Amino acid sequence: MAPKSSMLHRPRHLRVVLSALCLTGALTAQSAPTVRGATNAVVEVAFTAQQAHARPFLDTQLDVVVTAPDGSARTVPAYWAGGDRWTLRYASPMPGQHRFRSQCSDTADAGLHGVAGAIELAPYTGDNLLLTHGPIQVAADQRHFAHADGTPFLWLGDTWWKGLCKRMTWDGFRELTADRRAKGFTVVQIVCGVYPDEAPFEPRWENEGGKPYLDRAFTTVNPDYFAYADRRLQHLVEAGIVPAIVGGWGRGDCDGMAVAGVEGLKRHWRNLIARYGAYPTVWIIGGESGGAEWTEVARYVRSIDPYRRPITMHPFDSARSRVTDETVLDFDMLQTGHGGGAATMGAAAKVT
């Protein structure tokens, strides 16, 4: 296990490894040279603050407007990476030059605001289907999933609710990933936030970097936790497996809404979108959750996700029955029981 570092400094050996598969470039934003990468693969752009920010996660918001070669533009949230560092993660299926300019809530910080540069993407040439055919979405017929280029995608999912915490070692995570890949699994459903079956801020929330947040309102993020979570989620994508990220739980004994409230969960989701939205992810807003407040969180996710990754809820029964506005969802998720063969008839009734 890697040694735990301070909250403000990502472990050096966990600084993102650049590869032709997922991460293809990084730079210091002030110099703004062209970053080179591949289509559908994630490119990183690093920004360094020139002024001190007392509460960077809470008070300093950084967005980056990226204009694609066809002239279309999207606003991509960036995340605070610890210390004076912020990071943009970006991906696009479109080859060519993508121009960017940063927009910071602190317009006086020249290291974060008004920084311009370019990202040059060449066509991806590897064999990862998530990069060859693009991330998944609900197909036009609303009956199945497909990659961005229309290639059909079979959702064969496995549930690793607590796969980002320390109950699973890094070696164990890689072993399980290899096993599921060999067996044809295409999705892993995994929680990043308030875990099920555990009280708020139990030690079991921790991974090698500690807990994800340092206070109940989610006003102080722990970048070290997310650096280790990054490594695992990136590994799934490198294996061709879609991470279906659950942003927390909603059941009474582990209710994320009671822990952080609507505003805290919105901060949490902005962080998740900034970190993982450029990957071929799926968003599961909450586990066994629902109601007007969770619907508001889902609507917020829809409003700030520049990639429009598919959204659903993990329900007690049906995702549609757990929201007050079905338009915040892209597809219905069912919970059909845990009784093995005995649950088959109940499952059949829900899908007919």
Render 261-290 in DSSP notation, one character per residue. HHHHHHHHHHHHHHHHTTSS-EEEEEES--
pLDDT at 6: 32
Q: What is the pLDDT of residue 316?
A: 85
* pLDDT confidence of residue 25: 44
| End-to-end Cα distance, the chain | 47
Instruction: Say what the pLDDT of residue 17 is.
Output: 33
3-state helix, strand, coil in the chain (%, to 5): 30, 25, 45
Contact 251, 214 (CB under 8 A): no
Helices (H) and strands (E) in the chain, counts: 7, 16
In tens digits, the chain (352 residues) has pLDDT values of: 443 333 333 333 333 333 333 433 444 445 566 899 999 999 999 999 999 999 999 999 999 999 999 999 999 999 999 999 999 999 999 999 999 999 999 999 999 999 999 999 999 999 999 999 999 999 999 999 999 999 999 999 999 999 999 999 999 999 999 999 999 999 999 999 999 998 888 999 999 999 999 999 999 999 999 999 999 999 999 999 999 999 999 988 899 999 999 999 999 999 999 999 999 999 999 999 999 999 999 999 999 999 999 999 999 889 999 999 999 999 999 887 777 777 777 777 777 6
Confidence (pLDDT) at 166: 92
Q: What is the pLDDT of residue 343?
A: 72
For residues 123 and 149, what is the distance between their CA atoms, to the nearest angstrom? 14
pLDDT at 14: 35
Q: Which residues contact 143 (CB under 8 A, 6 or more apart)?
A: none
| Spatial separation of the C-alpha atoms in residues 202 and 158, rounded to whole Å | 25
> What are the residue ranges of helices labelled H in the chain?
56-59, 129-132, 170-182, 223-238, 256-276, 292-304, 344-351
Contact call for residues 168 and 152 (beta carbons, < 8 A):
no
> Do residues 224 and 5 make contact, with C-beta atoms less than 8 angstroms apart?
yes
**Predicted pLDDT at 248:** 94
The arrangement of strands across the sheet holding 85-90 comes to 43-48, 85-90, 79-82
Q: Residue 33: its pLDDT value, please?
A: 67
